[in-house]
A = this chain, B = another copy of it.
């Protein structure tokens, strides 16, 4: 269950949103002003902040700055003023999305889930079949069991993950990992690495399902 901090001072909106978001399975706490919001963020832990731009005791931009400087909490601005200045300022301060009032409840849910998805996966944890790569920890695991990848195997896996769906030529892979292509490393080196990586990540290394061979072109993993 995701915990949302709603920074808003309009009683009607607060009541409506708490009711609606609770029904959708979120846990919601309300802060009515800047100080209360910043205190709550420091004291409790949340997964996302819904932040009204216009608060009784000042604008929400300051709150966003404060939150983003001390945490990496995702922030979605809510605002009646759909003026361009606010939008641009909001994003510049590190906001993750921006919804203009009046918004449709279902769109709010979609955007909340979308921001949670984007902030949760970008550069952190990636799934590749049953293989999970955590770039924050620098580890890879398969069905929860740690795969003790070597430095080069890990980097090779990252190249595939960051180019999912695209065929990677041998040259590109060599360039990605050894910096230079062909000249300094043996032609077979890459082939051997592919084999060893497959032995660690594939269920059946002889019939690879993750790293597919594209004969004549290179290798690819599906998105």
B136 touches A107 (CB 8 A): no
A136 touches B158 (CB 8 A): yes
**Within the complex, which residue of B70, B87, B111, B138 is in contact with A155, where a contact is CB–CB below 8 Å?**
B138
Q: A144-161: contact bitstring with B at CB < 8 Å (1 yes, 0 no)? A: 001011110011001100
For the complex, is A213 an interface residue (Cβ under 8 Å from B)?
Answer: no
Of the listed stretches A8-16, A25-33, A119-127, name the one at the interface; the rest are far from the partner chain.
Answer: A119-127
Q: A68-91: contact bitstring with B at CB < 8 Å (1 yes, 0 no)? A: 111110000000000010011001
For the complex, is A104 an interface residue (Cβ under 8 Å from B)?
Answer: yes
Residues of B within 8 A of A138 (CB): 135, 138, 151, 154-155, 158
Q: Give 6 pairs: A residue, B residue, CB < 8 Å, sorted on A.
A: A71-B164, A72-B164, A87-B106, A91-B111, A135-B138, A138-B154
Taking beta carbons and an 8 Å cutoff, which residues of A are in contact with B? 45, 68-72, 84, 87-88, 91-92, 95-97, 104, 106-107, 110-111, 113-115, 118-120, 122-124, 135-139, 146, 148-151, 154-155, 158-159, 162, 164-166, 176, 179, 222-223
